[in-house]
Chains A and B, each alone.
Chain A
């Protein structure tokens, strides 16, 4: 039984991964309060650490071709333990969906339209996402080319416009961060934007060709990481250590742009970029949550659950945290530990067990 419709190709997967990672760029600025001007170093270190894990996710998808995470769990851990692990994963996907919706609301209320109530943004955005998810994975994958191109255009454009403000002495002195803070900031970058690409284990079964999945997954991951690195370098070099004062340094940096007297206030271009990348991210998370629930309950189609799951996600987004400060505190102290089993323990263990037990076994043309 296959509840998923539509196929995507390798390059679409690559752009989807990059776009998914760029969607998180707004939510990691609290890292600047720990790493200060060394955040670029944390991003580079986390990138190197995460490469084996990303390869592990794609190797798992390649080994179990056409099977999603829920089916892989069933094959590897048996139907009882597999179901428990799958339910834990569904809770994780669902929390990510709610927290990203909440993040979008916070961003809009904090920076773009401060006088409008937050629920308005969250509900409208969730409705647009629900409409997109109703059309399946293919449309999302097709527009991801555009979102990544737009994001790269905005990042390079703002960097060039800010050239006169750039001061590379802001990076000095390097390596003076205490080791504990450095580990914490690397962990934040690894857990929140980078290894979240683990959710693509639910998307990769829809690929039409598994031959080069490793390469394209890694390329997408590297593209996303490079964009995040450039954003971080731009913010630190322009704002200096004061970048940690703002909750959204990227937005604050672009506010500085002033060329002549007429070319100002172009930060709305960045807000658009953040919105469309977050749109892709939330759509992917929404789709994944629905597909995994439908797969676990063996439903005929995931589309039945779009409205109820969206409704629950919206309410959880409202009640999750009292304020953005508690959200940031929880994200940097607790959330990073909560994600460890899902990103760094279960996928490598699954791959190891699959290798040792020589799974999957073949029965005719079916993998079991």
Chain B
């Protein structure tokens, strides 16, 4: 499964990155790499069954502290 996920990501990168380098959009390329790395890491962690903390629970914790809930 992990090989499948990584290979899908590699194929996408091989398709996208040369395009961006050819068009000389360095800003776009760095933004792409940043979000792409996050997506890749999250996908691998999910496939490996690692418990990723949900951002929603963080939001609930803050609202709980502020007593802002029904």
Residues of chain B from 39 to 57 with CB closer than 8 A to chain A in the complex: 39-40, 42-43, 46, 52, 54-56
CA distance A11 to B54 in the complex (A): 39
Residues of chain A from 251 to 305 with CB closer than 8 A to chain B in the complex: 293-294, 297-301, 304-305
Query: Is B63's CB under 8 angstroms from A334's CB?
Result: yes
Is B4 an interface residue, CB under 8 A from the partner? no
CA distance A301 to B20 in the complex (A): 11
Stretch at the interface among A15-23, A106-114, A315-323: A315-323
Is A312 an interface residue, CB under 8 A from the partner? yes
Nearest CB to that of B47 among chain A residues? Answer: A315
CA distance A301 to B68 in the complex (A): 39
Is A184 an interface residue, CB under 8 A from the partner? yes
Min CB distance, A293 to chain B, in Å?
Answer: 8
Q: In the complex, which residues of chain A have a beta carbon less than 8 angstroms from the beta carbon of B31?
A: 293-294, 297, 299, 304-305
Q: In the complex, which residues of chain A have a beta carbon less than 8 angstroms from the beta carbon of B54?
A: 316, 319-321
Q: In the complex, which residues of chain A have a beta carbon less than 8 angstroms from the beta carbon of B42?
A: 311-312, 315-316
CA distance A316 to B39 in the complex (A): 10
Min CB distance, B2 to chain A, in Å?
Answer: 14
Min CB distance, A347 to chain B, in Å?
Answer: 19
Query: Is A307's CB under 8 angstroms from B16's CB?
Result: yes
Query: Is B59's CB under 8 angstroms from A316's CB?
Result: no
Nearest CB to that of A326 among chain B residues? Answer: B56
Is A95 an interface residue, CB under 8 A from the partner? yes
CA distance A52 to B31 in the complex (A): 38
Is A309 an interface residue, CB under 8 A from the partner? yes
Nearest CB to that of A300 among chain B residues? Answer: B25
Contact with B along A330-349 (1 / 0, CB 8 A): 10111011100000000000
CA distance A299 to B34 in the complex (A): 13
Is A308 an interface residue, CB under 8 A from the partner? yes
Query: Is A318's CB under 8 angstroms from B46's CB?
Result: yes
Q: In the complex, which residues of chain A have a beta carbon less than 8 angstroms from the beta carbon of B68?
A: 337
CA distance A334 to B60 in the complex (A): 6
Q: In the complex, which residues of chain B have a beta carbon less than 8 angstroms from the beta carbon of A315?
A: 39, 42-43, 46, 52
The majority secondary structure among interface residues of chain A is: helix
Q: In the complex, which residues of chain A have a beta carbon less than 8 angstroms from the beta carbon of B63?
A: 334, 337-338
Give the interface size class of chain B.
20 to 34
Min CB distance, B13 to chain A, in Å?
Answer: 9
CA distance A319 to B46 in the complex (A): 9
Min CB distance, B37 to chain A, in Å?
Answer: 8
Query: Is B69's CB under 8 angstroms from A337's CB?
Result: yes
CA distance A367 to B24 in the complex (A): 29
CA distance A206 to B12 in the complex (A): 30
Query: Is A320's CB under 8 angstroms from B56's CB?
Result: yes
Q: In the complex, which residues of chain B have a beta carbon less than 8 angstroms from the beta carbon of A330?
A: 56, 60
Contact of B27 (CB < 8 Å), options: A95, A300, A318, A338: A300
Contact of A333 (CB < 8 Å), options: B16, B27, B70: B70
Query: Is B16's CB under 8 angstroms from A334's CB?
Result: no
Query: Is A299's CB under 8 angstroms from B52's CB?
Result: no
CA distance A312 to B39 in the complex (A): 5
CA distance A294 to B27 in the complex (A): 10
Of listed A95, A301, A315, A320, residue having the most chain B CB within 10 A: A315
Query: Is B35's CB under 8 angstroms from A321's CB?
Result: no
Min CB distance, B49 to chain A, in Å?
Answer: 11
Min CB distance, A191 to chain B, in Å?
Answer: 12
Nearest CB to that of B51 among chain A residues? Answer: A319
Enumerate the 5 nearest inter-chain pairs by beta-carbon distance, A residue then B residue, closest first. Answer: A311-B39, A308-B35, A315-B42, A308-B36, A337-B68
Could you list 4 further interchain pairs (A-B, Cβ under 8 angstroms) beyond the known A298-B27, A311-B43, A320-B56? A308-B38, A312-B38, A316-B55, A338-B63
